[in-house]
Every structure is written in C-alpha cells, then in structure tokens.
Amino acid sequence: MLGDSQAARALGIQTYVSAPVRMSDGHLYGTLCAASAQTALLPPDTESVLQLFAKLIAQHVEREQLLQRLQAHNAQLAHQAFTDPLTQLPNRAALREELQRLLARAQRTHSSVLVAFIDLDGFKAVNDRHGHAAGDLLLRTLAQQLQHSLRAGDMVARMGGDEFVVVTPVDGTAREVAVAQQGLEQRLRAASVCDLVLPQGGTLHYPGASVGVVPVSGDLSVDQALQQADHAMYHDKQLRHPRGGRPGSALH
C-alpha cells in the first residue's frame, strides 16, 4: 500500500503491507506490518511470506499461552496435593517435607527444631452432640487461630482428624531454646480456646486442646521427631484429664 493517506504522510510512510495474526480458532490476535519510508515495488510472494510469518507468530503465541496454562494447572495440583481441603492448612505430606528440611538444616547448623503436637480433646463429643458441621467449624476456627498465633518461620499443618502439628527452627543456647519452647506452648494453648456460634444456633465454648512441644536435634528422622512430640502431647493430656487418656468431651 502506498503512503497516500494523511497519517502515512505524517509518519513518512511510502510503502506499507500487513497481514492479520489469527489464532487457530480464528480469533484476531493482532496485525503483522511492514513499512518503508521509500516507495518500493513489492515482490509477488510478499503477501504469502507475510502470511507465513503471521502464522508462525500465532503458533508461538499459542504455545506460550498453553505453557502458562499448564504451569498454572500444575501449581494448582501441587497446592491441592499439599493442602488440607477443609482447613486450607498444609497437610501431612507438606508437614513431613518441611520437617525433613528443618531437620537437615538443624543438623548442618547444630541447632534444633521445635515440634508441637496438638490434639483436640473432646472432638468426638462435639460431632456426636452437635453434628459434623459443628465439628468442621471447630477445625476451621482453630486452624485459623493456630495460624494467627505463629511467627515467621513457623508452620502449622493438619495431620488429619483432630490433630495438628507445628514445626519451627530454633537457635541459641539450651536456655534460649527452653524459653522458645515455653513461648510456643503458651501461644498454642491460648490459640486452641474458642467460642463457636453453632450452625443450628447457640454457642459452644471449647476449653482448649492438649499440647506437647519438644525440641529435637537434626539427627532424628521425621517419624522420630513426630513421635517425641506425640508422647509429650499424651503426657499433657494425662495431666489435664487424669482419669482417662482421651476425654469423651471437653465441653463446658
């Protein structure tokens, strides 16, 4: 196309040719243009060459879009694989991966990892008395409160059922580790107390969970570290409920 329009003259264009860039579904993505400030006689195959390049551009764009969709889909699948669907906390698989990483770090740096096991006393009684909707609400509420009680570097995960685990790296002297252990335990105990407005009406006071927090070294396996925290939790449960390991209800 010769530059015989006012816009072309303003831009100094004397020769211009273009081809639409269309996707495989016919959608117009854009236009491929070639322009010159000189008057030129275009070869006979100019249009076909331009269309070929327009087609190659469309194919490249579609490949990039497909790659982006695949990456987004893979990220979604990874999130689902490592996320508890009810509470949206990391799940058991994510916890084991993170704890393994923290134990490896602790072994390299000669530091420790705090592992906290949290068991919701009386959870079965909540389900039996008020229904599974109330039980799910309790799990979601405590998951949020536990999450909000954490500090940078902490991770809380749902192990399954009515059990949660928190892991966090800790450095310093034995006294500093003990102070960190006590502080984490206090925060988790406070975060496990809540008042729920039940779906069917009324309010449920949940008085708190059994909590066991232990510092572990990097030479332990993931299972050994979790087992130590589990034992500490059961010791706490026996102190809180001396006449039976797992109370039938923790409701007031």
Separation between Cα atoms, residue 178 and residue 252, nearest integer Å: 32
Collect all residues with Cβ–Cβ distance below 8 Å to 13 and sequence separation of at least 6.
3, 35, 36, 37
Residue partners of 81: CB distance under 8 A and separation at least 6: 93
Verify whether residue 223 is a known catalytic residue: no
Q: How much is the pLDDT for 37?
A: 81
Distance (Å, whole) CA 148 – CA 166:
12
Output the pTM of the full model: 0.72
Please tell me the total number of residues recorded for the chain in this structure. Answer: 252
> Above pLDDT 70, what percent of the chain?
90
What is the tens place of the pLDDT at every residue in 43-102?
Answer: 888 888 888 998 999 999 989 988 888 887 776 767 668 899 999 999 999 999 999 999
For residues 104 and 19, the model is more confident at: 104
How much is the pLDDT for 35? Answer: 82
Q: What is the pLDDT of residues 88-133, one digit of tens each?
A: 999 999 999 999 999 999 999 999 999 999 999 999 999 999 999 9
- Please, what is the average pLDDT of the chain? 88
Whether residue 244 has pLDDT greater than 70: no
How far apart, in whole angstroms, are the C-alpha atoms of residue 217 and residue 225? 8
Catalytic one among 84, 119, 121, 162? 162
- The answer on pLDDT for 139 being more than 50 is yes
Q: Helix H segments across 117-242?
A: 123-130, 132-149, 174-191, 222-240
Domains in the chain with CATH codes:
6-81 (3.30.450.40), 92-240 (3.30.70.270)
